[in-house]
Chains A and B, each alone.
Chain A
Amino acid sequence: MIELDDIHKAFNQGQPNEYWALSGIDLTLAAHEATVFSGPSGSGKTTLLTLLGCLARPTRGRVRLRDEDVSGLPERFLTEIRRRTFGFVFQQFNLVRGLSALDNVMLPAYPLGLPYGQLREKAENQLASLDLGHRREARVEWLSGGEQQRVAIARALINDPEVIIADEPTANLDTALSRQFLDILTRLIDEGRTVLLTSHDPLVVESSVVDRVVRLRDGRLVDSAA
């Protein structure tokens, strides 16, 4: 579904602190699978996620989404594709403080101009399916870590994307909540979505939910064991 072709990503190009986060990545990811990108910090996992999810463009190489080359698209089209196809769950959750859980969940869909009642219902359903219906009017800063993550997941799902991308999802969770997260993951796969994760948490990497582990080191692939 997603193809990476000789991908290189550099930061601060041309400056003394030029840094190549990724060098020569060739990768093909299948749909309806859960893939984990694993590796030490600085290996380029997060950068890889941003390229896969059309959040950033590669310095060199091509990204193909369903056989369509997306690396050269202008911002507007890229943003639209990203909105439709991908849902992001950030490591720091990145929820907007001062707004309720419900508002945060609806936020990504604001620029689309859907009818308000419809959007609100969708958001309420998402939160309900994650056992947060009773907390939907609460301000996000009052929610616990686990609740915040579920709000972040609900937000990622609001536009009904095919692919869910999560960066170090269990980094701030205890074991019980981590298992809870994996359950949610299973459900997402069952719904027919594709999941891409980064993690160095053995609980995730060695879980049965995960179909494939891709290892990275210093911006390169190490091996791709299924």
Chain B
Amino acid sequence: MRLWIARQRYLIDFTLASLARRKTKNIGLVLVFALLVFALASVTLLTSALRQEAARVLAQSPEVLLQRMVAGRHDLIPPGYIERIGRIRGVQQVEGRLWGYYYDAVVKANYTFQVAADDPPPAGRIVVGPGLARFRGVQAGNVLSFRSYSGKLFTFTVDAVLPAESELVSADLVLLNEADFRAFFDYPAGHFTDIALSVANPQEVRTVATKLAAALPDSRPILRDEVLRTYQSIFDWREGIALALLSAAILAFAILAWDKASGLSAEEKREIGILKAIGWETGDVIRMKLWEGMLVSLGAFLLGYLAAYVHVFHFSAALFAPVLKGWAVLYPSFTLVPAIDGLQVAPLLFFTVFPYAVAVLVPIWRAAITDPDAVMRG
């Protein structure tokens, strides 16, 4: 065993000395490789953290949400609708929700106005989300004015700002009481935005939903299950930008591997010939090259992954912020709870390290099996 280690160390000595001869090129190679791993690993880590976040935070969302559709579009719940539900068995609580969007033309941001069912703020006062507060520079006690869609200017006093750590779910929220909400949006009396239902037995949820759909044909029930599943496909590799990134990364890896696999320089061929002539066996040559491939790819992978980890969990994926922000003006500031999915990291390791190590071997196979006397004939 000790002998084996000693031999591998010598092989590594030689291959590193060999690489050191083209220092700039090889360091560049490691950095590019690491950069690719960084990009892919960052997306992977961000994705699993956000998916877990959604799964945990939204776990208490209403069991069934009922929306009303008119001509395929979301419409208001008219008066009397809620009463028709009350008789369905299994439904514990029925609550009409009031919420809507407000576009603040002054700062070009979208806010979500919502009536807080449990603890509504007093008349004329609102509770705002931390993102909004930060954006408009307000705190408790300040005054905010909004021009309603009917043209009237409404002024509210900020009662409180929601806790900063809740920003990922509450960044753009404006909570008010029902009367203020209806007045501000000119919301028709007795109408609601949608209905939240709680069902006691989780196994009955589907049945309840079917009954609802039958009883109210123009409604669309949305189950908590579906809400949770929505976020499990965030940043899916099969879609959009993530797919573009993955394709670009695969292409880049392929180019790197192709460059390695497509042949040896005359210098490298000569070197291998010399090694054979002075007493190295074919196996020694191959093992030496394998070490080269493994050290380069493993080193690059570790560098890239560590950088990605720090980027996502210590810097909140700052480099992706412009992409995630898109055209939005309000973007939540958040720190993620690490949730590392081994099933995503392991394939990343496997598919970067091994193909490269193998690619390094391809061109030298032929050179490694040359006859030792070739260097004298050549």
Contacts and interface: CB of A to CB of B under 8 A. Distances in A.
Nearest to A82: B279
Nearest to B4: A113
Contacts of A56: 371-373
B6 A94 contact: no
A116 B11 CA distance: 12
Contacts of A82: 279, 372
B106 interface: no
A202 B95 CA distance: 112
B10 A110 contact: yes
Q: How many interface residues does chain A have, given as a range?
A: 20 to 34
B252 interface: no
A167 B277 CA distance: 13
Contacts of B4: 113
A22 to B, nearest CB: 13
A96 interface: yes
**A50, A98, A111, A114, most chain B CB atoms within 10 A:** A111
Contacts of B267: 97
A96 B267 CA distance: 9
Nearest to B282: A75
Contact of A114 (B6, B373, B376): B6
Contacts of A159: 279
B104 interface: no
B275 interface: yes
B314 interface: no
B204 interface: no
A110 B372 contact: no
Contacts of A181: none
B21 interface: yes
Interface residues of chain B: helix, strand, loop or mixed (majority): helix
Given A111-B7, A113-B4, A167-B376, A88 B282 contact: no
Contact of A110 (B11, B20, B21, B375): B11
B280 A96 contact: no
B278 A108 contact: yes
Nearest to B6: A113
Interface string A101-134: 0010001101111111000000000000000000
A90 B375 contact: yes
B376 A55 contact: yes
B370 to A, nearest CB: 12
A83 B282 contact: no
A107 B7 contact: no
A55 B373 contact: yes
B53 interface: no
A155 interface: yes
* In the A-B complex, the 10 residue pairs with the closest CB atoms: A113-B6, A110-B10, A113-B7, A83-B279, A98-B21, A55-B373, A50-B373, A56-B373, A108-B278, A108-B279
Interface of A: 46, 49-50, 55-56, 75-76, 79, 82-83, 88, 90-91, 94-99, 103, 107-108, 110-116, 155, 159, 167
